[in-house]
Structure 1
């Protein structure tokens, strides 16, 4: 795995944690107006582009059946997500006052476990599962499903086939009467995955940016990402947020990070980024409950609260990562190492 991908995963996960931490501030202290500091939702767009890139990178030039691909993706995604979903549903059933965006609803729970889009019972305007940030996984699993089905196609034709299938899905969703499914799958955000796949193809063909320009474009793309997040509403994210995210990934993979100092903690957080993403909602809810019931001075300070959210979410995600990820032994120069 390219180390810069791990770095970007960590950054994207922490961006999302920061975004939700800012949203929690109003619940901790209604007097705080932090609307000017709401950034980080675009971490999802970086994740989507990265996902497409990694899926192409890990399957290109290899013989992999749809079943093998699906098995690996399910093993990686499903256990923790199901556990977190069932735990959240149980809390919603037993102590509903603890949760602000979730209520127990059996059809909603079943749809969440199956990664199907469903109207959130708490907010009918929102298509989201029991764990609200899990809406991204509904897109992820849909992308994996289509990607897996097209794996038997010769690799030369796989990329245009992916674009053709997703374009057809988008068109069909807009032609059919509006339903929850057509509204959800008819969003152009799905093309961020395909952009990542295209970047994976470019990387495989060694069609990369010159190193000097890659650094410049990386900085400019991050700047545009934050600027556009402030200027453009989420319904325009596929171009205003997606395009900078595409160039962030393209710039990063064009740079040879093997010649740069290794940032171990950032690499580790990238490895644990999925666990951080899934569990951070619980961590933030815990901090919010603590801050509301025990109005400790530091917890009422916005900066300290947000820092605690970032640090504690990282720690919890890392602990879960250590628990559920088996230690794999590799052989280096004929000697076993961990």
Structure 2
């Protein structure tokens, strides 16, 4: 080794639960973006922070992209029966969905609000995002609508992975480009829907619309797993993500949310390629064993809690507003923000350690398993991702 040269860190161990620790850390920041969005719009605004997080609902788009990426990364080259895959996903999301739905319904009752039995059943069956009815969408646990989309992604995931185009580098490049074009076309299609509530459902909630984001994550995950290096590094991707959200600030000041060309739908639809680059850059950094600042012990721990936090924080906001009302003044608003964040995070930690994680393990042990000797597809994995392997 030449004098003055720093030894290269060994490649990261990608065999454990947090094989891509930076992605787990990013989950927390995406959840925080959603939390700040709800705090800004429901509790009250804090100058500077609220403007930047005014379209923080785009954090859900990040989770859809991340879901496709992680599933493709995890199951690439593996032969897992559909029943095993679907049971694993059920064990992953349904126990916490059921628990937080009970918590949410309890909050509605405590506040003296009517509860729609149809909405609760639709939520527990994970079909509520298919129904263009605001009561059904939000009558169980309002934040849980995205799990209806995720359930759809899980159903189509084995079919998407079987597509010949997905299994080739050239095909993935074409899919990446077509999804980006399709995303713009979906956004432009908002101009054809005159009813604002119907437009919001069709572009924000409908699982078919959101499938493009999942597919983008899927082909990006396969590409990175097979050697592709994104064109920008992690911190350039972080800067790009921040710049995108800051660019929405003057746009929002010029165009009301009710108009189809406002940044409301654009922030969620057009952000998908930006998030795909961010996820790919973070995963690539972990593969190379580079420190990212996102994979520390506490960041990973918060990432583990992020799913529960996403489902619980809105319930805490709702109870606070129902009992104490909206605060007045920036200082009071900041204090309520702090209380909501601390309380909801504490509840999320309890939910993760006492409900989500143990019940997932219990259900996975009780459910179907991969037959012995049938865990991998024979033969080498194809090369090249979105571009040729370097």
TM-score by length of 1: 0.75
Over aligned residues, Cα RMSD in angstroms? Answer: 4.0
Q: 2:73 aligns with which of 39, 51, 57?
A: 57
Q: 1:109 aligns with which of 120, 123, 145?
A: 120
Which range is displaced more, 184-193 or 240-249? Answer: 184-193
Which residue matches 1:146? 156
Q: 1:218 aligns with which of 238, 242, 246?
A: 238
Give per-residue Cα distances to partners, 1:129-155, cap 9 Å, x unaligned: 521111211111111111145566677
Q: 1:191 aligns with which of 202, 212, 218?
A: 212
Matching of residues 129-278 of structure 1 within 5 Å: 130-150=140-160, 156=167, 184-185=205-206, 188-209=209-230, 213-228=233-248, 231=251, 232-237=262-267, 239-256=269-286, 258-260=289-291, 262-278=295-311
**CA deviation after TM superposition for structure 1 residue 308, in Å:** 2.6
Equivalents in 1 of 2:51, 2:235: separation in Å? 28
Which residue matches 1:13? 31
SS at match of 1:245: helix
CA 240–157 in structure 1, closer or farther in 2 if over 3 Å, else same: closer
Equivalents in 2 of 1:251, 1:269: separation in Å? 21
Equivalents in 2 of 1:219, 1:4: separation in Å? 16
CA 238–22 in structure 1, closer or farther in 2 if over 3 Å, else same: closer
TM-score by length of 2: 0.66
Give per-residue Cα distances to partners, 1:55-112, cap 9 Å, x unaligned: 10111011111111100100010111122223433443x4453x6xxx4112222211
Which residue matches 1:303? 334
Aligned length: 306
Show structure 1 runs of 5+ residues with no match. 329-338
**CA deviation after TM superposition for structure 1 residue 43, in Å:** 1.1
Equivalents in 1 of 2:300, 2:140: separation in Å? 30
Q: 2:94 aligns with which of 78, 87, 105?
A: 78
Contact in 2 for aligned 1:70/1:148 (Cα 8 Å): no
* Greater length-normalized contact order (CA 8 Å, ≥ 6 residues apart): 2
SS at match of 2:285: coil
Which residue matches 1:68? 84
